[in-house]
Each structure stands twice: as structure tokens, then as C-alpha cells.
A and B are shown apart, each in its own frame.
Chain A
Amino acid sequence: MVPVLDARRTIDAVWKLESAKIIAGLARLVRDVGLAEELAQDALVAALEQWPRTGVPDNPGAWLTAIAKRRAVDHIRRSQLQVRKQEQLAHELDRQSDPEPDDLLRLMLISCHPVLPTEARAALTLRLLGGLTAEEIARAFLSTGPAVTQRIAAAKRTLAERQVSFELPGEEELGARLSSVLEVIYLIFNEGYSATSGDDLMRPGLCQEALRLGRLLAVLAPREAEVHGLVALMEVQASRSAARTGPSGEPVLLHEQNRGRWDQLLIRRGFTAMLRARELGGPPGPYVLQAAIAVCHAQARTAEETDWAQIAALYGALARLLPTPVVQLNRAVAVGMARGPQAGLDLTDPLTGDPALRDYHLLPSVRGDLLARLGRPAEARLEFQRAAALTRNAAERAFLLRRADALAVPATTGPTLGSATRAFLADAGLDAATVRSYGQTLGRLGLALGEGLPLAELTADQVAEVFATAWGGAAARTWNRHRAAVRSFATWAELPEPAARLERRAEPRSTTTPLAPGRLDALCARPGLALREQTLWRLLNESGAGVRAALALNVEDLDLDDRTATPGITWRSGTARLLPHLLVGRTRGPLFLTDRRPGPARTPTADLCPETGRARLSYERAEYLFKQASAGLTLRQLKPRR
């Protein structure tokens, strides 16, 4: 018999079990989560040095806590020696050193604080409450270790700078703050449960992590019905994990799942959580309603026994509370089951024009299903093909294409939208730039209507509808460019002229006329305008610099006191007021950055901000954003008249 002991892996396990409690206790002491985590990490390093020699202590959690607290005391003594008498401080620390049950709740509320962007909240929560390493979090969210490290560091910095309070909020505010925690936990769960991209349909580690956090929260905030609702929802959804995929990893739809593979233990836990939520009373919130729907499904012993009328009613209530397009879509599915496919299809019709669902593969997927049940296989196939083109998940794409192929559709003769656009782009004698531009327009058309749509069935109305959804809000020039592409294609393919429905929009006459006085102030006063845009526009206006020169600026080029930057750019008070806010803590790298970090496959080699991992804002993107905001002006027009 060989004793199983690998010190490093044991320490890792102990850390994951204990770190949240240690960090939470320290955070109360030092009032800074970043510092608390550092001190806890110091203790971990000490363990890594000692335990392999001395063995894991009897109570490893207490050991780590003691070391970390000693470091914390040293730290506080160093920083506060001047301010307070030592004895007084020692007394205070003694008094504060017992763990408090609320420590973990405080830590959760801070990790999910509304001042942080959602993805940072999720990363910080997994880090501080799950004890996950940056690499583990990166793997979960298909990101890179350094990017996650930066995201977490930025989040901690924001919390420190904004001096986020460590006190527990009062009864009234608690509900609002908890909803942010619930949102993060459910986001983590969903990222694991329905992996939005990649080759796997599920990342079970994330689901488990979210469940753990939810169960913990239910103990910490037992009087909140929505917390129990979320736990119930996750337990019941997780109970279906094993049944959700077939032998080759393809998704199996809920009503086709082998219910024998549902995990009865988790279902029962879900029911118990649901009962707790109901006992607390009050009008049901969104998580309780979603849990009730999940419970309804779990209660049916066979798919046929599903109480669709009840589920449709619950979705009706949910849609009143949370009228998002996705909820409306789910409601359409339920109604389609309760009252027949036509009723469901009717509910999806208004959704097809919703820009929020433009690229959401489940909409055509649901419509495909309803159309197939209505005995309209040709339309159903098109919808499945569209759904397949939109999903980023490989397993799901294969599944959707199989569903499309399984439909008995009489062979279509003649060209399809896809084949015709390809032929048009190849044969019409267009130059490369035009092919690229037209390709973009027609590609969107194909995505929206289905590449497999027989060309003969394409109607002007359909084209007009796609236009309204895709480019309805675009600037005149963009609209006209797409319009030109479609018209040219229609002429080539001898289609009914859609132009009657697609009027040419008037473009601003001269694109180099400088802005009218006061126009920039009006643009900058728009609610919700990003600081980056505001700063860039002011800078261009006040400095008269070229757009490319401004975008090429680096943080280290700036002299804020002097209001100058090295390539000879100077500005005035408007820009000077904004710049410090744009910089917050950055000391080098590109001045104007993109909103998001580049995806792992698209990481550019140069011009990344060393502190945030974001790339330099491109000319095209900057121009697009200004055009959007100003209804068609160009950045060059910001340059003042000589």
C-alpha cells in the first residue's frame, strides 16, 4: 500500500478549500482586497516552503490564517505606527481577529461590486472565492493567463481607487447588491453550461464552481428568495448535464433527453431550494420564475407529461418582469408546445426584426423547429442552415446541419442566394475593393436569409427587412453603400428591383466642412458617451492634429502639465480636463485603446497596452464611432477652420 501524498497538490487542494475564508478575514482587517490576497498568497508561499519538509499541519486552514494575519499585523504596524499607539492597535487587532460569518458575504459583494465590468467581476470572484489561478480562469473563459492577471489587477485597483466600502449594506441596498452577485454566479454557470464558443458544449468545472458559490451564498443570505431561486435553477439544470450530450458530444434537446440519466440527487436538491424560496414568500423574482420553469420540466416523468401550459404561463410572468428578446423567444417555444407550432411561430415573428437577436442562432433554430412541425420543411431547412452559420460552437453547428439535412425537401433547381452571390462577386468584373465591400453586404444578406434560399424565392420585402434590421441605424453613407451593393446584385441576377423600398438617403454634402460652432459640445453632452471618444474628439478639435497622429499617441508621449505631446501636438483646457481620467493609472502604451481585449486567436503582435492588454484603437473604428454619433460626420471635420 502506497500512501497518496504529493505535497504540492495537497497544498493546492487546501488552498482552494481555505483561501476564500482567509482572504475574507484579512480583507476586513486591512480594508483592501488586493492587499488581503497578497498577504494570503504570502502565507501560501510559506506553506509551499515548509509543508513538503514538515508535512501538512493538522489544521492547515488555521496555520495559513495565522501566518497571513501575522503579515497583516506587520503591515499595519508599518503603515500606521505614526498614527496610533502600538498597544491600542494590538488591542484592536485582537478584538477583530475572530472570523466573522459575514466576512465571506462581504467578500462576495465586493468581488461583484457594480463599479467593476461584468467580466472582471466574474474573474475576481473565481479568483478570490474559488481560489482559482489565473491560468485556470483563463482556460475557463478561453482567454490567456496574463490577460486574466491584468483584468484582476485592474479590478483590484478600481476597488481601491473608488474606496469601495467594506461594510455590509443595509437591508434595502442588500437586495440590489445581491442581484449583482447572482448575475455573476449565473454568468459563470452559463459559461460552463452552454459554452458560448469552442469545441466543448460544457465546461463542467465552471458549473460546479458556480453551484458551490450559490450554495454558499444561500447559507450567507438565507432570507433572500432570489438566492434560493438561483440555486434551485442551477441544481436542476446541472441535473441534466449527463443527458445533454449524445455519444459524440452533440447536443440532445430537453424533450429528447433520456430522463433516466438526469441526476435525481441534484433534482431533489433543486426542489428543496425551490421550497425554501417559496417559503420566504413575496412576489417571485426572475430567478425564482426560471427555477419554477426548470422544476416543471424536472417533474415530468416523460417528455409527453410536460405541463407546457404551466410553463407557458410562467414564461408569460417572466416576460413581464424581464422582457428581453431571449425570454420572449423561450416563451415562444413554450407556447409552441402548449398551443401548437403556429402560435409559437407567431410569437417569433416580431423577434426576427429585433437587432438584438440579429446574430443569435437560437432564433432561427427555434423557428426551424416550429416550421418543421408545421410541415414546411423547405423553410425549416433554411432556418437550420442559418442557425448553423451563426453559432460559434462546433458541436452545435454539426447538430444543426444534420437537422437541416434530415428534412425531406424536394431538390431545388436553380441557383441559391449563396451560390448566386458567389458567382456575382466572381463574374461581375468588380475591382478588389468593391468585391470586398459588396461581399460584406451580401454576406450579411446570406446570414440573415440563409445561403440556401432559392434565388427565385427572394422577395424585395425580405431584402428590405434585412436592411432595416442590419443597417437601419447606420449613417447615410453606409446605408447607401450597402444599398448600391444590393442594387447592383439585383440587376446582375435579374431580380425584382428592391430599390423602391430602399430609398437612397441624403448624405451630408461636403465632408470637409468643419463642424458648426457648439456642435461638438452638443455631441459631447450625449448621455452614455464613452470617455475615450470625448477625449479624442476634443483633442482633434483643440489641437488641429491629424487623426492618424492623434491615434498614434502613446501615454509616455504626453506632458499633461505642459499640455503638449512630442510630435508637436498641443491642446487646451477641454482636453486637459479629460486626459487624466482617460489615463487612470496607465503610464505607458497606446493612449486610445479598443474596448475589448483581442480574442486569443487574434492577438496582434504589436501595439498592445502593456497594462490592460488592449490594442490601439484603429482609425476605422474611431471613424465609425464618430459617424454613428454624429449621423455621418467624419473625424476630419473636427479640425478647426484655419
Chain B
Amino acid sequence: MRYLMTTNADGSAPDETLFAEMGRFIEELTASGVLLATGGLGPASILVSSSGGEITVTDGPFAEAKEAVAGFALVEVRSEEEAIELARRFRRIVGDGQSRIQQVFTD
């Protein structure tokens, strides 16, 4: 089962230790064959919306900086519980904030 985990930015700047810990975590996930892809997302976002057939493109500021999605990880695990467990470990490393887990349908 594949899950997409997205994480919101919490506004605070990451420090050296966090980078090192994250590096280790990502390395471990890669080694165990769980992590398929991961990446960080830029803070700026552009909103493309459609209303009554009209397409509008705007710089999409979020109401609050912490609502912006800061990164994602695509993992392949055996159950939802495993995905939750991985997210838990991730959150323990990065501290306050939110992550969201959604199953990715592959068939």
C-alpha cells in the first residue's frame, strides 16, 4: 500500500541537529525499502482556480504560513498502521506541526 505523507511548515527555521536526524531517518527509510520518493516544497504557491468555466491564476498566499505544505514523502508499507507509525517517528524528529497521510491508489 502506498501512502502520501504531506507536512505543514511550522514557521521555525530548522537547525543542524534536525537536519542530521532527518538525514538519518530518510536514510533508514530508503534502506528498508519503504521510502519511494520525498521532497521539499517551496513556500510560494500559485493558485489556479476554475469558477463557472473561468480560470483564474493568482499568487496563492495562505492565510497563515503554517498552512503551507512544506514537504512530502511517498512510502510503501504493509498497512495504514505502519504509515502512521512512520509519521509518528517523523513528527518526533521535526517537533510541532502537522502531517497528513493519504492512501495513494495504485490500481
A residues neighboring B (CB under 8 Å) = 4, 6, 9-10, 12-14, 16-17, 58, 60, 205, 208, 211-216, 219, 241-242, 263, 265-266, 269
From B32, B74, B92, B106, A241 is in contact (CB under 8 Å) with: B106
Q: A4-B84, A13-B84, A58-B92 are in contact. Are A212 and B34 (CB under 8 A)?
A: yes
Contact A242 B107, beta carbon cutoff 8 Å: yes
Q: A205-B78, A215-B31, A219-B30 are in contact. Are A14 and B85 (CB under 8 A)?
A: yes
Contact B30 A17, beta carbon cutoff 8 Å: no
Contact B78 A219, beta carbon cutoff 8 Å: no
Contact B81 A216, beta carbon cutoff 8 Å: no
B residues neighboring A (CB under 8 Å) = 30-34, 36-37, 74, 76-82, 84-86, 92, 106-107
From B31, B74, B77, B82, A219 is in contact (CB under 8 Å) with: B31
**A residues within 8 A CB of B32?**
17, 212, 215-216
Smallest Cβ distance from B9 to chain A, in angstroms?
A: 21
A214 and B76 alpha carbons, distance in the complex (Å): 14
**B residues within 8 A CB of A12?**
79, 81
**A residues within 8 A CB of B74?**
265
A32 and B84 alpha carbons, distance in the complex (Å): 33
Contact A13 B81, beta carbon cutoff 8 Å: yes
Smallest Cβ distance from A245 to chain B, in angstroms?
A: 8
Contact A216 B107, beta carbon cutoff 8 Å: no
**A residues within 8 A CB of B85?**
10, 13-14, 17, 60
Looking at B37, B81, B107, which has the most chain A CB atoms within 10 Å of its CB? Answer: B81
**B residues within 8 A CB of A205?**
78
**A residues within 8 A CB of B92?**
58
Smallest Cβ distance from B22 to chain A, in angstroms?
A: 16
A60 and B85 alpha carbons, distance in the complex (Å): 10
**A residues within 8 A CB of B33?**
211-216
| 19 residue pairs bridging A and B, Cβ less than 8 Å apart | A4-B80, A4-B84, A10-B81, A10-B84, A12-B79, A13-B78, A13-B79, A13-B84, A13-B85, A16-B82, A58-B92, A205-B78, A208-B76, A208-B78, A212-B32, A216-B33, A219-B30, A219-B31, A269-B36
**B residues within 8 A CB of A242?**
106-107
A12 and B33 alpha carbons, distance in the complex (Å): 18
Contact A9 B79, beta carbon cutoff 8 Å: yes
Smallest Cβ distance from A252 to chain B, in angstroms?
A: 13
A208 and B32 alpha carbons, distance in the complex (Å): 12
Which chain B residue shows the least CB distance to A21?
A: B32
**A residues within 8 A CB of B82?**
13, 16-17
Contact B79 A216, beta carbon cutoff 8 Å: no
Contact B78 A9, beta carbon cutoff 8 Å: no
Smallest Cβ distance from A531 to chain B, in angstroms?
A: 40
A216 and B76 alpha carbons, distance in the complex (Å): 13
**B residues within 8 A CB of A6?**
81
Smallest Cβ distance from A211 to chain B, in angstroms?
A: 6
**B residues within 8 A CB of A16?**
78-79, 82
**A residues within 8 A CB of B80?**
4
A326 and B77 alpha carbons, distance in the complex (Å): 33
Contact B36 A265, beta carbon cutoff 8 Å: yes
From A14, A213, A241, A265, B37 is in contact (CB under 8 Å) with: A265
**B residues within 8 A CB of A60?**
85
